[in-house]
Chains A and B, each alone.
Chain A
Amino acid sequence: MKQGKFSENFLYTKIKQKDKESFMKAYDLYVDDIYRFISFKVKTKEEAEDISSQVFLKVWNHIRENSVKEFKTLRALLYTTARNAVIDHYRKDSLKDEVSYDAFSENFETVDKKQDILKQAEVSSDYENLLKKMSELKDEYSEVLLLKYVNELSIVEIAKIMDKSKGNIRVLIYRAVKALKKIA
């Protein structure tokens, strides 16, 4: 669901006031995006679901502790928490911080189940192709492409999430697209 900048700011201000109902609204708005972001970074659907639910609880705890002042937008807060949660997950399991899309591609579901079967098949074949290509890219490249073109975050937000400067992010996006073009 697309949210206007003004209404997002309004919602975030209310959440910072520890308004529980507003936080549940934020969950409804951003759960899909956060799940999608995490799902690209973990192996299985279950892992993605677990981490996603953890993310929202962690964010609520941050709000309770008044430790969200450094985040200017709600999306930056959510994605940064999600990114850190994925890193923690790999640390715990002592697995390589490597993204594998193979396991996930077996479990993925397209949402609109009423979709035409032929169309769905077309989407899935494209999807598998793209996932393979994305897996060949650097982690940084695939992450920045995901944040920019799939989750539609602004350069400022991506810079905050990835802890880089705006200029760095612009260069990174350019290089990621170029690398993907080379593979394709």
Chain B
Amino acid sequence: MKEQKILEQLNKLKSIKPDAKWKNSNRDILHSQIFSSQVEEEKQANIFLIAINNIFNFTKSISQPTLTMAIIILVVMGSWIGSSFASKNANLGDSLYIAKIINEKAQFAFTFNEKKKVKLGIEFATNRVEEINNIIKEKNKENKDKDEKVKKLVSDFKRQINETKSRLKKIETTNKIVRKNQDNKQDNKKETEKNTEEIADEENMVFSANLSKDENGIQVSEPNSVNSTTESTEPVIEENLSSTTEEVIEKASTTESIIEEKEEEQSPQTILEQAEVLLDKEDYNATIDKLNQADDAINNIDSTKEETTTTETEEEIASTSDEIK
């Protein structure tokens, strides 16, 4: 017999039901037995609580592993966020200070962009300076304790600054390499353009074919009228070209000088060095200002680079469009 037929026959067994008379009489007996029995007065549960309980049981039965995982993730994330908020204003010696340092290290570990790491380094250095400020403002503690804490924070600050400096150096070297590559590419482009122009000139050259006799030689050349017109326009174009190139060179020199001035004024490394000097002089507010300046300087470097890259891309687009024409 086939399995399906067996299952169908088993399904037919559902028709077995008790006698309706017995069912009703038994119901009455059960009813009287139950209602005569004394039951401890149970607090009537709120219907909403029952519904919530049922929903919880239902979801638990469906997705117990996912639910537990979600709860674990929520608890971990919540505790992490909570501890990071709570430890934000902690000072050296506080119980939450370790949490603050761990949080900073975790932030460092999870940022992969070097520029962002530099920014974080500056931020954490400012944190150290603020902590020094707070410790000096404390009135209850002894001077020895204060000095030790300040020393430790200063050493931490210097370590942080040195790390950021080395990172900045790395970034600068990589940027230089990238610039060199871009320059090389541009040079290559110019060379190829020159080559193409030379080839075009060769094509326009006069071809001659000697057919046994010099008198019968056929000469193929561009019509003279064209040559004469080009000759007449050449001096005008040369004049225009010389004037425009002079202007461009002047502009380029001015922009270069501006950029150099900017670099001299706002190079973040020099600002960081200044900040270090200010810290040694125990001018903490000024060091915080310098660190903020350094942060701005890094932002400015980003923006100038973006501008240069956009102009380069625009030039490339223009050149390709000309080629297509």
Q: Which residues of A line the B interface, CB within 8 A?
A: 5-6, 9-10, 13-14, 17-18, 20, 23-24, 27-28, 31-32, 35-36, 39, 45, 48-49, 52-53, 56-57, 60, 64, 108-112, 123, 126-127, 129-130, 145-146, 149-150, 177, 180-181, 184
Contact = CB atoms under 8 A, between A and B. Distances in A.
B323 interface: no
B10 A13 contact: no
Contacts of A109: 17, 19
A10 B20 CA distance: 27
Interface stretch (B34-42, B141-149, B188-196): B34-42
A17 B11 contact: no
B12 A123 contact: yes
Interface of B is mostly: helix
Interface of B: 1-3, 5-7, 9-20, 22-23, 26-27, 29-31, 33-35, 37, 39-40, 42, 44-45, 50-51, 53-54, 57-58
B15 A123 contact: yes
Nearest to B33: A57
B14 A150 contact: yes
Nearest to A12: B54
A32 to B, nearest CB: 5
Given A10-B50, A126-B12, A184-B1, A52 B6 contact: no
Nearest to B35: A20
B6 A177 contact: yes
Nearest to B26: A53
Contact of A9 (B3, B33, B37, B57): B57
Given A5-B58, A49-B18, A149-B11, A180 B6 contact: yes
A181 B1 CA distance: 6
A150 B50 contact: no
Given A111-B20, A130-B12, A149-B11, 7 more contacts: A13-B45, A24-B31, A31-B23, A31-B26, A32-B17, A110-B17, A184-B1
